[in-house]
């Protein structure tokens, strides 16, 4: 048991580190092909922290463990919203810019809601199953493309609320990229190998731990694998808080959630249909609740920063969700 837990921890660290070096190599190659910096920053760096979830889901889908794949996304997004934003929100320093208020928060709520709608044919359409299928995946990918288009457009046009993001990404592009093409390709290859190997280790060790403890893959995904693969977002947010770059935190966290649903989950569903049972619907409900709390508090409370009350409510939501998930 302890060995499998150790393997799971090492696998998560491997996936996180591999995602980082893959992004670093991709930045260098993109620069050498004269790809504009705003594309590198908004896409390669901005979504790079979601690569661990992507690696785990692809591996789980290939092995037929779609229960773990769905639980990983739901657990990761709920951890991002409730724990990361909840803990950092207690500092009273998380800035809410107009972009997050108008576009990101509503899009995040819509993404959470769409899982409930598309994955519950049993209740809505009276079909004898409920799962995300290829048709849903294509719809999700369309919404993802729309989100990416408007994000790139805003960064390219130098929108005021995107200036801190653009500055931060510009610094990352200048400082992280390796000097030679060979080194850059080595980073990419090593990162891909690490993500594939780390994802496989995470899936296999999670299955073994679930078997040893008599737990479901669903619970392991919701409470261990999902939060574990959210470590990059938590680390990036802590660094941003320490360097007073708090305008980045909300956009990065919500952007990661949107990437997880509209891209990672859609790619997973193209490989194999992803079922959504009652216990996972419970996690879907809490994701909607957390996303709705964020959106409503942003719309109704005329403040430039997340209030400590909102942060405490997010942590409370995660606490209730954890207790119910274990009880179920």
Residues 111-126: tens digit of each pLDDT = 999 998 888 776 666 6
Q: Do residues 224 and 52 touch, judged by C-beta distance below 8 A?
A: no
- The CA-based angle 161-253-10, given to 5 degrees, is 145
DSSP conformation class of 305: B
Distance CA 104, CA 131 (A): 26
How many helical (H) and strand (E) elements, i.e. helices and strands, does the chain have?
18, 2
Q: What is the largest CA-CA distance in the chain?
A: 58
Nearest to 259 by CA among 97, 119, 144: 144
Distance CA 15, CA 203 (A): 12
The CATH number assigned to the domain holding 223 equals 1.20.1420.30
Distance CA 5, CA 302 (A): 45
Average pLDDT score over residue span 69-92? 90
pLDDT per residue as tens digits for the range 260-282? 999 999 999 999 988 887 778 89
Beta bridge partners of 132: 274
pLDDT at 3 over 50: yes
pLDDT per residue as tens digits for the range 293-317? 999 988 887 677 888 899 999 999 9
Average pLDDT score over residue span 281-291? 94
- Percent of the chain past pLDDT 70, that is, above it, reads 80
pLDDT at 173: 44
Domain count, the chain: 1
pLDDT at 178: 59
Q: Do residues 70 and 220 touch, judged by C-beta distance below 8 A?
A: no
Distance CA 279, CA 260 (A): 20
pLDDT at 161: 46
- Count of C-beta atoms within a 10 Å radius of residue 217: 23
pLDDT at 247: 65
More confident residue, 27 or 92: 92
Nearest to 287 by CA among 263, 327, 254, 264: 254
pLDDT at 36 over 70: no
- Candidate from 31-40, 64-73, 165-174, 298-307 with smallest mean pLDDT: 165-174
More confident residue, 292 or 176: 292
pLDDT at 141: 95
274: enclosing H helix or E strand: strand 274-275
pLDDT at 230 over 60: yes
- Candidate from 77-81, 195-199, 245-249 with smallest mean pLDDT: 245-249
pLDDT at 160: 47
Distance CA 304, CA 20 (A): 31
Residue at token pair 């760096």: 45
Average pLDDT score over residue span 249-260? 84
Range of the domain at 24: 2-327
**pTM, to two decimals:** 0.82
pLDDT at 53: 84
Number of residues that this document lists for the chain: 328
Q: How far is CA 118 from CA 77, 134, 261, 288, in A?
A: 18, 11, 12, 14
Beta bridge partners of 305: 95
Average pLDDT score over residue span 130-138? 88
pLDDT per residue as tens digits for the range 72-83? 999 999 999 999
pLDDT at 151: 77
Helix axis angle, 181-213 to 51-62, nearest 10°: 60
- The CA-based angle 121-126-131, given to 5 degrees, is 20
Distance CA 179, CA 164 (A): 26
Nearest to 53 by CA among 291, 270, 193, 257: 257
Q: Do residues 123 and 273 touch, judged by C-beta distance below 8 A?
A: no
């Amino acid at each position: 048991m302890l060995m499998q837990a150790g393997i799971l921890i090492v696998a998560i660290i491997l996936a996180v580190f591999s995602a980082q070096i893959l992004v670093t190599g991709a930045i260098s190659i993109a620069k050498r092909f004269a790809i504009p910096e705003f594309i590198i920053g908004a896409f390669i760096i901005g979504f790079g922290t979601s690569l661990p979830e992507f690696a785990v889901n692809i591996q789980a889908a290939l092995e037929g463990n779609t229960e773990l794949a769905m639980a990983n996304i739901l657990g990761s997004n709920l951890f991002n919203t409730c724990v990361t934003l909840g803990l950092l929100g207690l500092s009273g320093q998380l800035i809410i810019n107009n972009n997050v208020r108008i576009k990101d928060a509503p899009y995040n709520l819509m993404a959470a809601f769409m899982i409930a709608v598309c994955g519950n044919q049993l209740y809505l359409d009276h079909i004898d199953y409920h799962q995300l299928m290829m048709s849903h995946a294509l719809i999700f990918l369309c919404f993802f493309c729309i989100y990416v288009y408007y994000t790139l457009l805003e960064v390219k046009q130098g929108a005021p609320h995107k200036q801190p993001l653009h500055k931060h990404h510009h610094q990352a592009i200048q400082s992280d990229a390796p000097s030679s093409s060979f080194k850059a390709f080595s980073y990419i290859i090593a990162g891909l190998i690490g993500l594939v190997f780390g994802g496989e280790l995470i899936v296999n060790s999670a299955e073994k731990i679930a078997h040893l403890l008599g737990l479901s893959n669903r619970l392991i995904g919701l409470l261990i694998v999902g939060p574990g693969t959210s470590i990059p977002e938590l680390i990036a947010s802590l660094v941003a808080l320490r360097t007073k770059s708090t305008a980045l935190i909300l956009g990065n966290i919500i952007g990661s959630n949107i990437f997880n649903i509209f891209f990672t989950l859609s790619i997973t569903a193209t490989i194999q249909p992803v079922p959504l049972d009652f216990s996972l619907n419970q996690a879907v409900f809490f994701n909607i609740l957390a996303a709705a709390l964020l959106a409503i508090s942003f719309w109704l409370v005329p403040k430039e920063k997340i209030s400590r009350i909102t942060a405490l409510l997010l942590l409370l939501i995660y606490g209730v969700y954890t207790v119910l998930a274990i009880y179920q």
